[in-house]
Structure 1
């Protein structure tokens, strides 16, 4: 049995290396296509070229942002937007607030999950500050306004005129139990006779 010629081994190694290189670089556009077409997630880095996009889009483009809020049935809170809609100019920062009220008899921790509709607009709606970034603790009977600051990207598709921002609050059982365990006991110890 004779050993393969050194030139053929090098050629095979070079072909495999070239194939791996081409395959690796083809994954990036394939991943981008899959995210955009299947999940509706836009992966472009719009923040880096926002000035170029802003100059291409008229300064007077306005869209309507609608606000919606709900709570999971396990959370005894009231939760609603303070305003149900706002007309905004693309590329500018705005603030909206939601009102949360704890109807429960003790302090409760809640966590909010946001969603944006239509789904293809989610990549163009940037929250710069949001109550959904951290868990919220409300004492029994407490009412609080919760702010969200946002910017609608100027490269939002021209046929999208309305964006809906929805939040659902859920009870954070783990943090609520920790909070209850850390609270001082309301029972008074009995003295011995």
Structure 2
């Protein structure tokens, strides 16, 4: 009976070990799998720059862009300019954001963009953005981060002002 019980215990231990390894593998594969699903389905993908091949250009269409930031946690964030008048559709613009880690510890975070009106985001194309990646900042580190964008002239005529706001969130568990 002892031999059977020890075989049972060994088999159970092997199954539990295999299950733990499979769960770890599944968890590890979830992030790339999520990004691949978003890419295939066309769901909003914040990690890739905009495709600018199909941007409509209208040199007579000018918009106002307001830039805003919100920081959650221990980071201060500010754009080099808060207001851009006469932004021409189809032209490339760049704004530098200054981020500062106000804490005495290393932190990892990510900026998430939002637009007002919300529907303007479909025509506000970011080519380069610090929001595409998680940022690791050392204590008291100051970093300049560019945002390069184009506004598509296909934006509805009733939208004359677009507010771009970034909220910085600390990523829990990342160090």
Give the TM-score taking structure 1 as reference length.
0.60
Instruction: Indicate which of 80, 83, 99 corresponds to 2:81.
Output: 83
Encode CA deviations 1:32-87: one digit per residue, 9 max, x unaligned.
xxxxxxxxxxxxxx95654xx43xx4x22211111110111xx2111122210113
**Number of matched pairs:** 124
**RMSD between aligned residues:** 1.7
Q: How far apart are 1:155 and its partner, in Å?
A: 0.9
Q: Which has the higher strand share?
A: 2
Q: Label 1:171 to 1:63 Cα distance change in 2 as closer, same or farther (>3 A).
A: same
Runs of 4 or more, structure 1, over 4 Å off, are 46-49
Q: How far apart are 1:120 and its partner, in Å?
A: 1.8
Tell me the equivalent position of 1:112: 111
SS of the residue 1:116 aligns to? strand
Encode CA deviations 1:90-129: one digit per residue, 9 max, x unaligned.
0011111211111111111111111111012111101111
Alignment of 1:1-193 (within 5 A): 49-50=54-55, 53-54=56-57, 57=58, 59-72=59-72, 75-87=73-85, 88-176=87-175
Encode CA deviations 1:136-160: one digit per residue, 9 max, x unaligned.
1111111111111110001111121
Mark the structure with the bigger radius of gyration.
1
Give the TM-score taking structure 2 as reference length.
0.66
SS of the residue 1:132 aligns to? helix
Gaps of 5+ in 2: 1-50
Whole-Å Cα distance in 1 between the matches of residues 125 and 89 of structure 2? 11
Whole-Å Cα distance in 2 between the matches of residues 48 and 63 of structure 1? 21
Encode CA deviations 1:13-50: one digit per residue, 9 max, x unaligned.
xxxxxxxxxxxxxxxxxxxxxxxxxxxxxxxxx95654
Q: Is the 8 A contact 2:52 2:125 kept in 1?
A: no
Q: Label 1:78 to 1:120 Cα distance change in 2 as closer, same or farther (>3 A).
A: same
SS of the residue 1:175 aligns to? coil
Whole-Å Cα distance in 1 between the matches of residues 148 and 125 of structure 2? 9
Whole-Å Cα distance in 2 between the matches of residues 48 and 101 of structure 1? 35
